[in-house]
Every structure is written in structure tokens, then in C-alpha cells.
């Protein structure tokens, strides 16, 4: 966070308790959530997205293409989590909070800043049963992966083992997307094999 934002204190609230794996799967099933498995030795095994959250992420990435010089855009992922029997995290993303006001954005840089953090704080008040699960941002024309700056942002604001980072390239069809999470050794995954990229624009509801 930059100097101007130092006076902003995100309210401390007690985090909602995590769900059991069974509860989380039931919630995901009832909402007809879309599931994506995370490849590799990630601490997060699977992420479910409520259809409206999945659509909101797509819409937010899509609207960025209306700008002549397509800027990076981003936002926050809210929902609930559980731990599976083998100790890995399962996430259900229920809401996407678009960062409509950011400190800086360009074709290859996004700084969320204090206004975005305040919007996040309001959203956490609005959805008290949910917690921050991670963040989303776009890489217009430079493929989905994690840069060194992305890593620094992640370590600064998303410290929990279950926090994920989604990156989408909206300039490529069909919105190739990766979901990055911590590995077992605590390092952050920074890329996926090309063939594992999620086609965000085409993914169907799984049962």
C-alpha cells in the first residue's frame, strides 16, 4: 500500500469458521458451481465458483477490452473454504468484488491501492459469512502467469495458505486462465503448463 493509504485501517473482524468438506461440496452442488482442479503439488486442491461469480469475473475482464490501450484490471474473490481429508484446501468462490477504483493501471501494471481495499472491506461487511480467498487480475496480451510484482503483491496482502491468485489474458481466446496457490513447501506457484490453462470463456458447469 502506498503512503497515501497508510491511514486506512481494514477493520479487524473474526474470520468465519471453515466448513467441513461435506458442507462445502453441498453448498457448491446446490449453487451448481463450476469446479477447477489445481494441478501440481498445490495446497489448494480444487476451487468451485458460483456461476454468478464466474460470470462477474468474465464480465469484468471483458469490459477492459473496451479501452483503446487495454489496461490490467483486478478484484477480489470472496467465499468459504474447507480442508479435505488429506489436508488440502477446497475453496468455494461465492462473490467477485471488482476493483473499480485502483491506484494505478496500465497494460502491464496494476496497483490496487487504498480505494480498492476499502471496497473489499465493505464487501466483507456485506457478506459476513464469507472471507477473502484471493485476488484476480488480467494480463492483457501477455499470457496468464505470475510476475515478480504479482508475487510481491501476493505476499503483502494474501498471506494465508488458502489464498489464491487468478490471472486471465482477456486478449486471447478463450480467456486463458490460471489459478495459482502455495505449494506444499510454501513457495507460490507462478505458472501452469500451457495445456492446463483454463478456458474461462468456455468452461461448463460440472456435476
Q: In what order do the strands lie in the sheet with 89-98?
A: 34-37, 44-49, 89-98, 74-83, 131-138, 164-168, 176-180, 198-199
Q: How far apart are CA 22 and CA 27, in angstroms?
A: 9
CB of 76 to Zn ion, least distance (A): 15
Q: How far apart are CA 80 and CA 156, in angstroms?
A: 21
CB-wise, 28 or 73, nearer to Zn ion?
73
CB of 163 to Zn ion, least distance (A): 15
Stretch that binds Zn ion, among 15-23, 29-37, 139-147, 168-176 (CB under 5 A): 139-147
By the rule CB under 5 A, 150 interacts with Zn ion: yes
Q: Which of 3, 164, 176, 185 is nearest to 91 (CA)?
A: 164
Residues numbered 8-27 forming contacts with Zn ion, rule: CB under 5 A: none
Calculate ∠ Cα 88-94-98, nearest 5°: 115
CB of 147 to Zn ion, least distance (A): 5
By the rule CB under 5 A, 169 interacts with Zn ion: no
Number of residues that bind Zn ion (CB under 5 A): 2
CB of 48 to Zn ion, least distance (A): 24
Task: Give residues in contact with Zn ion (CB under 5 A).
Answer: 147, 150
Amino acid at each position: 500500500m502506498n503512503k497515501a493509504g497508510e491511514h486506512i485501517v481494514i477493520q479487524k473482524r473474526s474470520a468465519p469458521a471453515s466448513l467441513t468438506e461435506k458442507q462445502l461440496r453441498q453448498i457448491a452442488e446446490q449453487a451448481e458451481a463450476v469446479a477447477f482442479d489445481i494441478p501440481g503439488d498445490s495446497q489448494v486442491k480444487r476451487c468451485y465458483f458460483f456461476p454468478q461469480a464466474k460470470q462477474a469475473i468474465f464480465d469484468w475482464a471483458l469490459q477492459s477490452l473496451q479501452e483503446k490501450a487495454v489496461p490490467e484490471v483486478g478484484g477480489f474473490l470472496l467465499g468459504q473454504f474447507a480442508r479435505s481429508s488429506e489436508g488440502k484446501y477446497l475453496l468455494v468462490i461465492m462473490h467477485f468484488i471488482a476493483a473499480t477504483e485502483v491506484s494505478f493501471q496500465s497494460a502491464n501494471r496494476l496497483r490496487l491501492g487504498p480505494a480498492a481495499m476499502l471496497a473489499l472491506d465493505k464487501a466483507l461487511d456485506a457478506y459476513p459469512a464469507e472471507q477473502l480467498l484471493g485476488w484476480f487480475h488480467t494480463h492483457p496480451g501477455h499470457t496468464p502467469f505470475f510476475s515478480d510484482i504479482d508475487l510481491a503483491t501476493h505476499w503483502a496482502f494474501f498471506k494465508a495458505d488458502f489464498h489464491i491468485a487468478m490471472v486471465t489474458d482477456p486478449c486471447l481466446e478463450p480467456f486463458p486462465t490460471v489459478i495459482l496457490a502455495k505449494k506444499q513447501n510454501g513457495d507460490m506457484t507462478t505458472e501452469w503448463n500451457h495445456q492446463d490453462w483454463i478456458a474461462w470463456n468456455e468452461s461448463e458447469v460440472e456435476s
